[in-house]
Structure 1
Amino acid sequence: MKHIFKVGTLIICGLFAAVSCDDFVDIDPRYTQDGDNYFLNPNDYQRALIGAYDLMQTSYLDLWIGEVASDNSIAGGESVTDTQGLHQIDAMTHGGVNNELRGLWRFMYSGVARVNFIFVNKDNIEFADKARIMAEASFLRAYYYFELVKFFGGVPLVIDRNLAPRDVSSIPRASAQEVYAQIESDLQVATEVLEWTVPVKGRITKGAALALLGKVYLYQNKFAESATVLDRVITEGPYDLFDNFETMFRVANESSAETVFDIQYVGSEGGSYGCLVCLEGFAAVGFHGIRGYKGPIYGDGNSYNLPTQDLVDAFEDNDPRLGFSVLDIEAFKAEQTETVEYVQGVGGHTGYYNRKYLKRLDELGPGDNDLTSPVNHKVIRFADVLLMAAEAHNRKPSADNATALAYLNRVRTRPSVNMPALNVTGTALTEAIYHERRVEFAGEGLRFFDLVRTGKATDEIEGFVAGKHELFPIPQDEIDLAGAGWLQNPLY
């Protein structure tokens, strides 16, 4: 985020574990400011908000796990011990000791802690832009808790307060319902204050808050509420489907009307493997790159998150989104007039690569360009809003299949996709929406959670155990360090 908000960053510790901060921004001299002499002017609140945005840049974990845990992709990489946690998730053998899951837990709670630090000090002073800053902070807390609840279920719920280490042992796990209630409350605050458009790129908007609220309702099967909120995004917001699916994910098109909520990255600063949370670039892109690649268009990388044949076979005949979403390396190689070379990773090889988030020669960052991609992470697209709204209208108690079908066909028949319109209703329409979500969002990290919330994971994911794998295990180190008697999720 800091290529947009270029000021010094406030260093705030996480809830249960401190997280390293960026090496590439202007930092005030050590010991010159702390919580007792901060939040004394509007700029302090602005800088603290930037710090709260910062943890969203770890979103590569959400994307990876959402694909690798599903039937859409395999972990890949150099070997099965290369990012071993992803391979465990791929095989459904993951447990409470998993670096990727612990990283996600720590990063999200660090984001929560940074937001709470703002709320603890919200009454220090009054100033003109304060309501907007607090609304953005509310959205960020909702986002971090939504990530936590969808991965882990009920989690410790800490609101508007800072905790000393000795206080952690007194915090129980809240129920998932309690966490969702807090998320809804924060997002409702954000939707009431924020505007549809903002002058500063990367800021949260009313549309992002409404879209996330609609998704939160959908994940709880609150279909009527979801339909109402998402209809507002569709009818009131400034959004539309982008006219070129193939180039939608390129840097040049990152501000298109299809983008409802994205996480901003920049390729102008370096980074290192020693601190992935410190990166300004989107790590997923370089890690998805073709291992040992030499040739045109693309750059080499680490061959993670490789699409499966099952995903490829899910596309209908002549659906152009297949070629736009998945790179068939051998077919690509055969089409080129110059030599193309690549290496198959021992961690697995399917012959396919995630083309939406794939390193390209004309979008390279400096230094180790596996870590410095400027490509943004599109978290919610307008197509997602349309298909979520279609599902909500179809599944709500008083089903509105006509509206659901119209939204579905709007996605299918747009000129850059041009698939034939469907004419189905009832459960056939439900299944058509599920199918459309899979092919539309292939490679974007939504598939696992779609399968879980619709009850289809057991049938579609090899090794998935019902009653267990709907949630991921709470990191065992966090349970032990907290000493609060948190029960592990079932069957782990």
Structure 2
Amino acid sequence: MKKRFIYICIFASLLTFSSCNEALDVAPDGRLSLDEVFQDPDLTKAYFSTCFDYLPKKSLRYHFWSNYPVALSDEAWDCTDGSGAGFAHAASGNCTTTDFYLDVRRDMGDTYSEGGYWQLYWGQIRIINTFLQRAATAAIPSESDRDRWVAEAHVLRAYFYMELLKWYGPVPIEKEPYGLDYDYSTLSRPTFEDCARFIVDDCEIALQSSNLPWRLTTLNEKIRMTKGIAMAIRSEASLFAASTYNNGGKDLWEWAYTINKDCLEQLKANGYELYTKCADTEKYYNNAYMEYFTLNNYIGTDPSDKETIWQSTEGYWPDPYTNPLYDVIGAPVLGNAQLTIVPSQELVDAYDMLATGKPVLDLSKPYNDEKHLSPNYNPNSGYDPANPYKGRDPRFQATIFYNNSPVLLGKEPAVVETYVGGNSEIRTSGNTNTRTGYYWRKRMVNGNCKAAGVAGYDGRFRFYRLGKIYLNAAEAAIESGYLTEGLEWINEIRHRAGFDPSVDLSTNDKNEARLLVRHERQIELACEEDRYFDIRRWTPANENMENEKFTTGMRITKNGNSFSYERINLGTDGSKPSKMSYEKKWHVYPIPASEAAVLEGTTGQTWQNAGW
């Protein structure tokens, strides 16, 4: 590890960490001792502000408006495939511990790309630990402020640890700053469960605060932490710890179930609820799920969006990196400038039939071949391969632009034509047209488009929302044997989507229920960075992520007034995988080579993740 991980260099850290938020002041200049900093109210507040630095942007901020976890999962492809950028590097199998393009933080002019989490998040944890160590005697304006700031610091530490855990696997648990005389040769790597329980404990400490709010009520606090966020992190940490890849062979599902049920119940009891009523039908928002992701008003005493727990603050116009979305992930008919991630045929295949409530494919074996060119259709679903987009789960239209999708160009109705020769046709190269035959619609405000000269705010990325907590709780319940309760939570999510209670999911078979909840997560949480981590935590360590090996699209040809459909492999002629990131070593990122080398040299133990 670099010296910032092994030694306390707080003054250098304060010089390099810029605090850009509006809610708190900038950091001190680093020329004072810590005693002097924490004896001054203004400097203490400024120091506390640095605990919030490097909260991630997510969404399209990874590099060149890509989203690596979405692109590398089975739900998408990335049209930067010919550029040599991060997605192409991973898909072609060229990533190494010394040349890991995906995890590098890059200057993008007026901002930075996502990445470099190992160094950044350890730096944040070090700062937070120093604040927590000093908080009891620090010059903080009031005891209520002291209580809230300490609670927020615990939530922030839990979040940064959760991110390290998801990306790199178990990491050392640091509860207080290591002193200059600390014996680093004694460091060891804990289990995933150890880390997860530490994260849960941090959240539970924060939840005891009477001054930490359940939700934010004013925009000038938009980056601050809440009890809602603590509950969401607590939910995720326990769920991940109980999962196959992480549980160390132990059955932790009852623990995860208890925590997740409590999280869901407390969030609902404190004002969080699913967004179920569609307000703006003039923009073709024919279901609440579609409209929900276009909203940016979850802060307030009585916000119209009560589902969002924590949302990115990025994206205010004219920020080009997340808004407007049509510019970098929209279809050419909308006037996009370039294109990055696009939905896969695998994701399209996942959407059930609305009338029957049944999946299009057999969930236990979706395809008859490893290349996904031969679907294993469910004969009872009501699906028609000759009319593939008719009668599907309403979340399909809310999430994806498909051939003949209705759209507004300003106020004028139009359709997205993805067939060969259409206004947004499929192409095998270039950076404006889809490779798969589909474009993302999720979070895009209908009517915003360059083609009509209308620019506006699209929806921002949600880190956590109540819909995800429902499904976390449902999965933990099903894995613990509480099938009826788990399926009830899934059905509540499906009712919001538009499914009638007459087609509610039900089964007494645990294996079938497991397939159902995993299937529901794939649909409900599409393009939210969950699928990438879900597949990895569900897959045993000695197995590849086989569902990601081949990615497909749909080439459509227009014949008069009818269409013909051909499934195609992406990035390959079939002789090699579409994405080499399907290999088992890709359960987690590699620890940066220089960091692993220092750790191994200091402790005499192996630290690098398996396979890297």
Pair 1:245-2:289 in alignment: yes
Counterpart of 1:410 (choices 474, 492, 511) is 492
- Once the two structures are TM-superposed, the CA of residue 146 in structure 1 deviates from its matched residue by 0.9
Q: What is the aligned partner in structure 2 of residue 87 from structure 1?
A: 88
Larger radius of gyration: 2
Deviation at 1:390, TM superposition (A): 1.0
Match of 1:8 in 2: none
Determine if contact 1:383/1:411 at 8 Å carries over to the other structure: yes
Counterparts of 1:199 and 1:484 in 2: how far apart (Å)? 48
Alpha carbons of 1:139 and 1:26: their partners in 2 closer, same or farther (altered >3 Å)? closer
Pairwise CA distance, 1:68: 2.1
Return the letter of the residue paired with 2:309: V
Distance (Å, rounded) in 1 between the aligned partners of 2:449 and 2:125:
32
Look up the match of 1:459. 546
Q: Are the equivalent residues in 2 in contact too, given 1:265–1:373 (CA < 8 A)?
A: no
Q: Find the counterpart in structure 2 of residue 278 from structure 1.
A: none
- Alpha-carbon distance in 1 for matches of 2:233, 2:350: 27
TM-score by length of 2: 0.65
Equivalent in 132, 146, 149 of residue 148 of structure 2:
132
Unaligned runs of 5+ in 1: 1-10, 271-280
Aligned to 2:394: 320
1:415-440 deviation line (CA, Å, top 9, x unaligned)? 65658311223221111111000000
In structure 2, what is the Cα distance between the partners aligned to 1:218 and 1:473? 23
Report the Cα distance in structure 2 between the residues aligned to 1:363 and 1:294, rounded to whole angstroms. Answer: 10
Query: Partner of 1:434 in structure 2?
Result: 518
Q: Aligned-pair distance for 1:211?
A: 2.3
Partner SS for 1:54: coil
CA contact under 8 A between 1:405 and 1:429: conserved in structure 2?
yes
The structure whose residues are more often helix, as a share, is: 1
Q: Secondary structure at the match of 1:433?
A: helix
Deviations 1:381-408 (A, max 9, x none): 1111111111111111xx2222111101
Tell me the equivalent position of 1:197: 215
> What residue identity is the alignment partner of 2:175?
I
CA distance 1:384–1:35, shift in 2 (3 Å) = same
Identify if the C-alpha distance between structure 1 residues 45 and 265 changes in structure 2 by more than 3 Å, giving closer, same or farther: farther
Task: Give 3-state SS (helix, strand or coil) of 1:424's partner.
Answer: coil
Q: How many angstroms apart in 1 are the aligned matches of 2:607 and 2:326?
A: 35
Q: CA RMSD in A?
A: 4.0
* 1:216 is the counterpart of 2:237: yes
Query: What amino acid sits opposite 2:590 in the alignment?
Result: P
SS in structure 1 at match of 2:215: coil
Amino acid of the residue matched to residue 308 of structure 2? Answer: T
In the TM superposition, 1:251-270 aligns within 5 A as 251-255=295-299, 256-265=305-314, 267=316
CA apart distance, 1:378: 0.8
Q: Which one-letter code corresponds to 2:77 in the other structure? A: I
* Distance change in 2, residues 1:13/1:159 (3 Å): farther
Name the stretch that deviates more: 62-71 or 406-415. 62-71
Whether 1:111 aligns to 2:131 is no
Q: Does the alignment pair 1:421 with 2:504?
A: yes
Which shifted more, 97-106 or 340-349? Answer: 340-349
Q: Which moved more, 1:131-140 or 1:205-214?
A: 205-214
Q: State whether residues 327 and 352 of structure 1, in contact with CA within 8 Å, keep that contact through their aligned partners in structure 2.
A: yes
Match of 2:374 in 1: none
Does the 8 A contact of 2:80 with 2:88 survive in 1?
A: no
Distance (Å, rounded) in 2 between the aligned partners of 1:417 and 1:28: 51
> 1:389 aligns to what?
473
The residue type equivalent to 1:160 in the other structure is E
Structure 2: which 5+ runs fail to align? 1-9, 105-115, 243-251, 277-287, 300-304, 354-391, 417-421, 550-579
Cα separation, 1, equivalents of 2:182 and 2:57: 27
Residue type matched to 1:105 in 2?
W
Can you list the C-alpha shifts for 1:236-264, whole angstroms capped at 9, x where unaligned? 32111112111212244444111123333
CA deviation vs aligned residue, 1:252-297 (integer Å, no higher than 9, x gap): 4444111123333352676xxxxxxxxxx8x45568844796655x
Q: Which of 331, 341, 344 is the aligned partner of 1:305? A: 341
Shift of 1:118: 1.5
* C-alpha separation in 1, matches of 2:294 and 2:539: 34
Equivalent-residue separation in structure 1 for 2:459 and 2:36 (angstroms): 37
Residues of 1 paired with 2:129 and 2:40: CA distance?
18
Equivalent in the alignment of 1:488? 608
Paired AA for residue 351 in structure 2? F
Q: TM-score, normalised by structure 1?
A: 0.79
How is 1:248-397 mapped onto 2 (pairs within 5 angstroms)? 248-255=292-299, 256-265=305-314, 267=316, 283-284=321-322, 289-290=327-328, 295-296=333-334, 300-317=336-353, 318-328=392-402, 331=405, 336=414, 346=430, 349-358=435-444, 375-396=459-480
Q: Tell me the equivalent position of 1:100.
A: 102
Contact 1:247-1:253 within 8 A present in 2 as well: no
Q: Does the 8 Å CA contact 2:238/2:256 hold for their aligned counterparts? A: yes
Aligned partners of 1:376, 1:208: CA distance in 2, in Å?
17
Map of 1:59 onto structure 2:
58
- CA change 1:337–1:149 in 2 (3 A) is closer
Residues 275 and 292 of structure 2 are in contact (CA less than 8 Å); yes or no, is this contact kept in structure 1? yes
Cα distance change, pair 310–161 in 1 and its aligned pair in 2 (3 A): same
Name the counterpart of 2:592. 475
Q: Give the SS at the match of 1:220.
A: helix
Q: Is the 8 A contact 2:172 2:190 kept in 1?
A: yes
Q: SS of the residue aligned with 1:79?
A: coil
Aligned residues between the structures = 458
* Map 1:155-234 → 2, pairs under 5 A: 155-161=171-177, 173-193=189-209, 194-201=212-219, 202=222, 203-221=224-242, 222-234=252-264
2:17/2:50 contact within 8 Å kept: no
CA positional deviation for 1:331: 4.3
Amino acid at match of 2:75: N
Amino acid at match of 1:73: A
Moved more, 477-486 or 449-458: 477-486
Cα distance between partner residues in 1 of 2:46 and 2:21:
16
Between stretches 178-187 and 346-355, larger displacement belongs to 346-355
CA distance in 2, matches of 1:165, 1:479: 21
Q: Supply the distance in 2 between the matched residues of 1:28 and 1:45 (Cα, whole angstroms).
A: 9
Q: Give the Cα–Cα distance (whole angstroms) in 2 for the partners of residues 104 and 286 of structure 1.
A: 26
